[in-house]
Structure 1
Amino acid sequence: MEDKTLQELQQELTKLKKAQARVKRKFTFLLSIIAMLVLITATLAWFTLSNFASVNNIDLKISTAPQLYLDIENRGTDVSLWKKVLTTDMVNTALRSQNAPVLDQQIMDPVTSSNGITFSNRSGRTRNANDTSYVEFKVWFIATADMWVHLSGQKVQVEGKDATTACTTKETGGKADVIRAVRVSYEDSGKAAIWEPNKGGAVAGQSTFDVSQNFSNDTRIFHLDKLTPKQITFRIWAEGEDPECDNDVQDAQVTFEMLFGGTDENNSAFD
């Protein structure tokens, strides 16, 4: 009887060890899943603290194509009435006319957009322009020749001042990553080209471009017919799906400089 009881105890001990081994394997597997989820979450940044930065400056400068001009308003076909440079103050005037905050009062909480036109927050809720989400304003363009308009990475003189296309910040450390977390789109007739400064991997289904000193079909933003004004909608946002859009860049400030140039059908620049 005692031998049989000892055998039963040994069998129970064996079963217990097997059960412990199964639990251990399941626990290890669970830890692996959790680790994978942490890694995935880390790539979908979306900072979680209070508010994002103000945009402290936007300068729009045009050169490369002497035939290309712009303004906040449609000035008609007399190009002498148009401008070569738009300043922050001019954009602020346009925003005030829309009862929208001026640029240094804008707050951009992260949003995401696959097309540069419609935007949503992390939970998928639609967000509106100039309402703690993304900045939106409209600019008119005109040219004295048929042309494709591009963002130019060249450095030139416009009205006696240096001009180029750049996204910069005075921040240091982790905050400096803000220049890789923002986007600018240019909408023409329901389609938008998206500039991704310091372009990295594609996110949110976006098709983006970065500036270059060489023009190509890939850098075309929109087309202008000779002496035919066209209105382009500009949108600036912090892309929540970008890995750099995390808590490190909160309260950072960013400056955009945009230099537009024009080319013919063969992507040869006007001079």
Structure 2
Amino acid sequence: MVLWKNRRSILIGKRKVQKDKMDGKQMVHTSILLVLLALVSITAATVAWFSIADRTKVRSMSMEITTGVNLRFDLDAHDTFDEYVKTLGFEQIGERIEQEKGFKMSEVPLEPVTTTDYAEFTFETGTVVGAEKGAYLEFTLNFMSTQDMDVYLTTEDSSGKTDGTKIESSNPELPNAMRISFTSDNETMVYDPGNGDVDIRLFSLKKEKNQPVIVHIWIEGTDEACTDALRGADYQISMRFVGKDENGNGLDGTSESR
């Protein structure tokens, strides 16, 4: 009887050791799985920054800005409506940026940045980057109109033209990662191409009174589209502004309300 009990105890002991080993292996496997999941989560949250942080080489860029017949703008403020213009191109904006910021936007590549207040921009590390570094673009547009109106940024084309607001690139992901903000009287509106066709009310404009608007253009580092695939991409920017009344009706002879 004693021998049987001893053998039974030994068998129970072996089973317990085997069970403890199995439980230990399961705990190790579980721990490894949790670590891997954590690494995947970290990678997924930071891949946009990590994969493009070396710099975004832009091979070419163009920019065109247009307005309606009763709304004009310029890089400088003027005294009369007739001194303002209806279109601005890449060369004029580039010259102004070089004059004010000290770099050529045709040569200095954009870099992924982010912002919370649309005034201060930072890299992934949280380091603040000034507009003179060329990581993003900053310039001022001055508006004037022949009547009181609300000024809108619109993706809609004017009659017979393809001049609506848009960002285009040979890389279809690039527009989704780009942003354009407009700040006037301490209020900021942001154009995000990923939101599709939109009309964005930017500010109110009084007849024959100049209104300065600060424009920022950048690649949003936190956007999931901001990956290494964007390196070497070109981009073309078009912006179209129109005047509307308080009910959203177009004031240049067209119906642009939505």
TM-score range, shorter chain: 0.7 to 0.9
Paired residue for 1:192? 188
The reply on whether 1:154 has 2:156 as its aligned counterpart is yes
| Coordinate RMSD, CA, aligned | 2.5
The one-character-per-residue Cα deviations of 1:39-72 (angstroms, maximum 9, x if unpaired) are 4532542143521133611111112xx2110001
1:69 maps to which of 53, 68, 72: 72
Paired residue for 2:124? 122
The separation in 1 between residues aligned to 2:62 and 2:209, in whole angstroms, is 29
The separation in 2 between residues aligned to 1:236 and 1:161, in whole angstroms, is 24
Q: What is the Cα deviation at residue 100 of structure 1?
A: 2.4
User: SS state of the match for residue 141, structure 1?
Assistant: strand
Q: Higher mean Cα deviation, 129-138 or 38-47?
A: 38-47
CA gap of 1:113–1:52, structure 2 versus 1, over 3 A, is: same
Q: What is the Cα deviation at residue 241 of structure 1?
A: 0.8
- Percent of aligned pairs with the same residue? 23
CA gap of 1:142–1:34, structure 2 versus 1, over 3 A, is: same
The reply on whether 1:179 has 2:179 as its aligned counterpart is no
TM-score, normalised by the number of residues in structure 1: 0.81
Q: What is the Cα deviation at residue 38 of structure 1?
A: 1.4
The reply on whether 1:260 has 2:241 as its aligned counterpart is yes
User: SS state of the match for residue 173, structure 2?
Assistant: helix
The answer as to whether partners of 2:156 and 2:197 remain within 8 angstroms in 1 is no
The answer as to whether partners of 1:42 and 1:243 remain within 8 angstroms in 2 is no
The separation in 1 between residues aligned to 2:134 and 2:84, in whole angstroms, is 32
CA gap of 1:86–1:20, structure 2 versus 1, over 3 A, is: same
The separation in 2 between residues aligned to 1:94 and 1:136, in whole angstroms, is 10
The one-character-per-residue Cα deviations of 1:67-120 (angstroms, maximum 9, x if unpaired) are 1100011112x1111100011111012112214222212322111113322211
The one-character-per-residue Cα deviations of 1:223-264 (angstroms, maximum 9, x if unpaired) are 211111011111111111110001111221211100001111
Q: What is the Cα deviation at residue 6 of structure 1?
A: 7.7
CA gap of 1:211–1:102, structure 2 versus 1, over 3 A, is: farther
The answer as to whether partners of 2:182 and 2:216 remain within 8 angstroms in 1 is yes
Q: What is the Cα deviation at residue 9 of structure 1?
A: 6.7
Paired residue for 2:16? 14
Q: What is the Cα deviation at residue 30 of structure 1?
A: 3.9
The separation in 2 between residues aligned to 1:142 and 1:268, in whole angstroms, is 19
Paired residue for 1:57? 62
1:1-271 residue pairs with structure 2 within 5 A? 4=6, 7-8=9-10, 10-32=12-34, 34-35=36-37, 37-39=39-41, 41-44=43-46, 45-49=48-52, 50-54=54-58, 56-63=61-68, 66-76=69-79, 78-156=80-158, 162-171=162-171, 176-199=172-195, 211-212=197-198, 215=199, 219-271=200-252
TM-score, normalised by the number of residues in structure 2: 0.85
Structure 1 unaligned runs (5+)? 200-209
Q: Higher mean Cα deviation, 9-18 or 139-148?
A: 9-18
User: SS state of the match for residue 238, structure 1?
Assistant: strand
Higher gyration radius (CA): 2
The separation in 1 between residues aligned to 2:119 and 2:94, in whole angstroms, is 21
The separation in 2 between residues aligned to 1:251 and 1:47, in whole angstroms, is 17
After TM superposition, what 4+ stretches of structure 1 lie above 4 angstroms from structure 2?
none
The separation in 2 between residues aligned to 1:25 and 1:53, in whole angstroms, is 47
The answer as to whether partners of 1:264 and 1:270 remain within 8 angstroms in 2 is yes
User: SS state of the match for residue 114, structure 2?
Assistant: coil
The one-character-per-residue Cα deviations of 1:133-155 (angstroms, maximum 9, x if unpaired) are 21111111111111111111221
The separation in 2 between residues aligned to 1:169 and 1:122, in whole angstroms, is 24
